[in-house]
Amino acid sequence: MNVIESSGLGKRYGNSWALRDCSLAIPSGRVIALVGPNGAGKSTLLNLAVGLADATEGSVTVLDGRSAGSPAALDGIAFVAQDTPLYKTLTAGDMLHLTRNLNRRFDEAYARRRLDELGIPLTRKAGTLSGGQQAQLALTVALARRPQLLVLDEPMAMLDPLARHDFMATVMTAIADDDVSVVLSSHVLAELERVADYLVLLSGGSVQVAGEVDELLASHMVLTGPAAEAERYTQRLNVVNARSGGAQAHLLVRTNGRTDGVAPGWEAHPVSLEELTLAYMRDPAAASLPGPRRPVVAQPLEARL
């Protein structure tokens, strides 16, 4: 089952395209990291997927073919938007009561139990809670709907490190206990690297990279060596991003899964999710390089230098 599937999806505001020609098939059972610079189209994609906006072109379905925004789709999706929006003048208990009355499925006993474990009084107004408590209240309300897909749009942007850790611990528990798929949009790459197993990278309103994290990392590597020889790599290999510091060059290379030897004077290192993400954000054009599943004939790096 695909939790989100889109074909040629686009959204235009006036004369500007926030998202264009977005085609994705995101499988279920994953923690999907949605990343990209500001204005890349992340929130637009999520709003289209949860039915808060209508597409200008193309189509998007969720949860194995349900039309985005339809009652069948909304029953299976919980959405925590940016800044964890809550009714600030309502108490935590009022938020549970309101959400129960607005949804066909809501596990109020679970929500009350969880808020008690977190030490969040039902009588406290949402606006008087700390940032971490507000985030946990919004997440509790979302999880009590027992969703198949949990969509989180920058929920940790204003949280301190401890609150971020506690928030993600709750998300990971829900995944383990209730088999929830999660789409998490965030700029906190270190947090994403710890939990994500699927990556979608947007830039300029288009998808640049999408795939299983392990496969993407295995199909890239970092080469370090003499800066004077770097030009030969950039001409003959699939270099995603090149930078140099003095006499040393650092090249992030798409290997397509090859395990070739490294030329004398050069060293190969595994790539981290953060390095991979930043490289494609710096140079979106690199996404047009041959993909990791493209069949190739391996030959030693020495032969290609």
The C-alpha atoms of residue 225 and residue 302 are separated, in whole angstroms, by 13
Rounded CA separation 61/203 (Å): 22
pLDDT above 90 covers a percentage of the chain that reads: 53
Mean pLDDT of all residues belonging to the chain: 86
pLDDT band with cut points at 50, 70 and 90 for residue 261:
low
Instruction: Kindly state whether residues 24 and 151 are assigned to the same domain.
Output: yes
| pLDDT tens-digit series, residues 200-220 | 999 888 898 999 999 999 989
Helix (H, G, I), strand (E, B) or coil at 262: coil
Q: How many domains does the chain have?
A: 2
Instruction: Specify the amino acid at residue 202.
Output: L
Q: Distance between alpha carbon 239 and the CA centroid of its chain, in Å?
A: 24
Statement to judge: residues 127 and 103 lie in one domain: yes
**Alpha-carbon distance 98 to 118, whole Å?**
20
Do 175 and 49 lie in a common domain?
yes
Q: Do 201 and 266 sit in the same domain of this protein? A: no
- C-alpha angle 215-273-171 in degrees, rounded to nearest 5: 95
Same domain, 122 and 159: yes
Planar angle of CA 92, 96, 98, nearest 5 degrees: 110
Task: Please say whether the beta carbons of 5 and 61 come within 8 A.
Answer: yes
| 42-51, 103-112, 226-235: least confident range | 226-235
Do 24 and 96 lie in one domain? The reply is: yes
DSSP result, 139-186: HHHHHTT--SEEEEESTTTT--HHHHHHHHHHHHHHHHHH--EEEEE-
Same domain for 239 and 201: no
Q: How many CB atoms lie within 10 A of CB 159?
A: 21
pTM of the model: 0.84
Question: Residue 291 sits in which domain range?
Answer: 219-304
**What tokens appear for 40 in the block?**
């890349």
Q: Are residues 135 and 228 in the same domain?
A: no
From 214, 232, 254, give the residue that closes a domain: 214
Residues 90 and 101 sit within 8 Å (Cβ to Cβ): no
Average pLDDT, integer, range 69-75:
92
> What does each C-alpha distance from 295 to 146, 228, 254 come to in angstroms?
42, 30, 13
The domain boundary, picked from 190, 214, 238, lies at 214
Q: 266 and 134: one domain?
A: no
CATH number of the domain where residue 170 is located = 3.40.50.300
Residue with the bigger pLDDT between 199 and 297: it is 199
Same domain, yes or no: 156 and 289? no
**Domain co-membership, 41 together with 186:** yes
Give backbone dihedrals phi and psi of 118, rounded to 5 degrees, phi first. -85, -5
Domain limit, last residue, from 184, 214, 244:
214
DSSP H stretches of helix in 25-77: 42-49, 71-75
Q: One-letter amino acid identity for 284?
A: P
Average pLDDT over residues 115-129: 95
pLDDT in tens, 166-184: 888 888 888 888 889 999 9
Token pair recorded at residue 187: 């700029």
242 and 168 in one domain?
Answer: no
- The pLDDT value given to residue 65: 93
Give me the residue label for tokens 């108490």: 91
Is the per-residue pLDDT at 260 higher than 80? no
